[in-house]
């Protein structure tokens, strides 16, 4: 389909956004892939310029009057590679004077390439097959989803107003993070439910972000119906990518508003934590917090994680140069790490370098992909820092206080803090 329209997947706003790039180059200062590859052929303005050419060849007035031009296959393949080498971190859009929402635009252009049979790339193609057969994009056994990390002492309810969704990357690649989530919820006295290891399947983000949409409607409907059957009013999760998917894309694939509210775990626990504060154990050391792209730029959540960290007495919170909505990607985003592994490691090491240089004892994260990739980036690297998830750290501060919490703090969101 080389002569097919290139605007079919795009909203009118996105067509206007592609046209709005002035090639000013401002975004180049913030793109992590540019930082490590220095390759202008895969830069945001170049991708937008090339895509504009595609639109011109197939959708301009001239193309409509005199016939669409065929686009060279090699050019399409190069563009496809460029669009998949991006981590979809959205930093380019954050600083774009033309206001281009790149974190939403790049996945749409990937979708266009998938429809033309050009994307996704490499092992990204296995994602639908793995999800179909195992419920997760890694192809790991469904029976092991909660194995080895779910604390035996935590009792789940069959039905409850609050549900916790662990997500695939947390459950299989960042177990201390999801263990921390569950320990914190239980220690704060929250009564919650979870789907079992056959029901809790991938949220769909890896499919969405790689442009492979075919299974999405089924997955989303299945998950939403399962939570609805359990009487859920608040769905809590810690993975920023899952959260984005649930908040922004589940309603689209579900076909209407969700019957529950989706919340990041830091937002959910904050009101409960404020009451429990004096019961936190004092910790020590300098911590530095890395804002995950889909939590900060994607969902705009930068305050709640910091408030959670500041509630732990004895620790000194310091900031990376680029923080909050200006944060630098950890290198793992957008499923790019599956194909462009070296970029991901090189980008991850930039954050490790800075955290070490600033004298932090621990690098605090709030994303399972960051957690897995930054740990991997330290393998064989001379600089090391202890990596800890925000809930893992809070669980440490709550340890020993759990029994008291259960009897004194609000249960199951009964305070309606939202
Ligand atoms: S989304 Fe991030 S990685 Fe992709 S082009 Fe923009 S700044 Fe670069
Ligand atoms: S900052 Fe925006 S307008 Fe400027 S080159 Fe980048 S995408 Fe284009």
Residue 408 confidence (pLDDT): 34
Nearest ligand, measured from the Cα of 34: 1
Q: Could you list the mean pLDDT of each consecutive 10-residue stretch along the chain, which spans 418 residues?
A: 81 96 96 96 97 93 85 95 96 96 96 95 96 97 97 97 98 97 96 97 97 97 98 98 98 98 98 83 96 97 97 96 95 86 95 98 96 94 97 91 40 35
Residue 29 CB–ligand 2 contact under 6 Å: no
Residue 6 confidence (pLDDT): 92
Residue 90 CB–ligand 2 contact under 6 Å: no
What's the CA gap between 268 and 132, in Å, rounded?
31
User: What are the phi and psi torsion angles at 317 (to 5°)?
Assistant: -90, 120
Report CA(91)–ligand 1 centroid distance (Å): 6
Residue 126 CB–ligand 2 contact under 6 Å: no
Atom 6 (ligand 2) nearest CA: 27
Report CA(23)–ligand 2 centroid distance (Å): 5
Residue 327 CB–ligand 1 contact under 6 Å: no
Which atom of ligand 1 is found nearest the CA of 88? 1
Atom 4 (ligand 2) nearest CA: 24
Atom 4 (ligand 1) nearest CA: 86
pTM of the model: 0.93
Residue 258 confidence (pLDDT): 98
Residue 415 confidence (pLDDT): 37
Per-residue b or e along 405-418, where b marks 16 or more CB atoms closer than 10 Å to that residue's CB:
beeebbbbbeeeee
Nearest ligand, measured from the Cα of 91: 1
CB of 390 within 8 A of CB of 365?
Answer: yes
Report CA(90)–ligand 2 centroid distance (Å): 12
CB of 14 within 8 A of CB of 108?
Answer: yes
Q: DSSP letters along 308-337, please?
A: HHHTSTTEEEEE-SS-GGGPPP-S-GGGGG
Which atom of ligand 1 is found nearest the CA of 102? 1
Q: Which domains does the chain have, with CATH numbers?
A: 12-119 (1.10.1060.10), 124-271+400-408 (3.40.50), 278-398 (3.40.50)
Which atom of ligand 2 is found nearest the CA of 22? 3
Residue 31 CB–ligand 1 contact under 6 Å: yes
Report CA(215)–ligand 2 centroid distance (Å): 33
Single out the residue of 17, 4, 6, 13 nearest to residue 44, CA to CA: 17
Beta bridge partners of 365: 389
Q: Is there a cis peptide before residue 120, judged by omega within 30 degrees of 0?
A: yes
């Amino acid at each position: 389909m080389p002569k097919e329209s290139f605007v079919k997947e795009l909203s009118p706003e996105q067509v206007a956004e592609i046209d709005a790039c002035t090639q000013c180059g401002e975004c180049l200062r913030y793109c992590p892939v540019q930082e490590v590859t220095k390759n202008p052929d895969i830069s945001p303005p170049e991708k937008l310029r090339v895509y504009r050419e595609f639109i011109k060849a197939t959708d301009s007035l001239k193309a409509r009057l005199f016939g669409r031009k065929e686009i060279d296959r090699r050019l399409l393949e190069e563009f496809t590679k460029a669009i998949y080498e991006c981590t979809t971190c959205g930093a380019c859009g954050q600083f774009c004077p033309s206001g281009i929402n790149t974190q939403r635009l790049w996945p749409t252009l990937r979708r266009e390439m998938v429809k033309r049979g050009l994307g996704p790339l490499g092992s990204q193609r296995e994602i639908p097959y793995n999800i179909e057969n195992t419920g997760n994009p890694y192809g790991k056994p469904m029976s092991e989803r909660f194995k080895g990390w779910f604390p035996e002492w935590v009792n789940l309810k069959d039905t409850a107003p609050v549900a916790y969704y662990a997500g695939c990357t947390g459950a299989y690649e960042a177990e201390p993070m999801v263990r921390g989530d569950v320990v914190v919820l239980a220690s704060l006295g929250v009564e919650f439910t979870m789907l079992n290891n056959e029901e809790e399947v991938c949220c769909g983000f890896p499919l969405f972000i790689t442009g492979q949409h075919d299974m999405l409607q089924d997955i989303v409907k299945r998950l939403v119906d399962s939570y609805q059957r359990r009487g859920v009013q608040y769905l809590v999760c810690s993975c920023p990518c899952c959260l984005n998917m649930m908040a922004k894309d589940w309603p689209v694939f579900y076909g209407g508003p969700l019957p529950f509210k989706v919340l990041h775990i830091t937002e959910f626990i904050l009101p409960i934590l404020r009451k429990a504060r004096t019961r936190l154990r004092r910790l020590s050391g300098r911590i530095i917090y890395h804002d995950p792209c889909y939590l900060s730029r994607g969902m705009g959540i930068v305050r709640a994680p910091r408030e959670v960290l500041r509630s732990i007495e004895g620790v000194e919170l310091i900031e990376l140069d680029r923080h909050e909505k200006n944060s630098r990607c950890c290198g793992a985003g957008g499923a790019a790490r599956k194909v462009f592994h070296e970029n991901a490691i090189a980008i991850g090491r930039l954050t490790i370098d800075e955290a070490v240089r600033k004298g932090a004892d621990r690098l605090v994260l709030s994303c399972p992909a960051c957690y897995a990739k930054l740990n991997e980036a330290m393998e064989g690297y001379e600089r090391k820092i202890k990596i800890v998830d925000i809930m893992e750290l809070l669980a440490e501060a709550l340890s020993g206080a759990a029994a008291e919490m259960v009897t004194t703090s609000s249960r199951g969101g009964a305070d309606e803090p939202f």
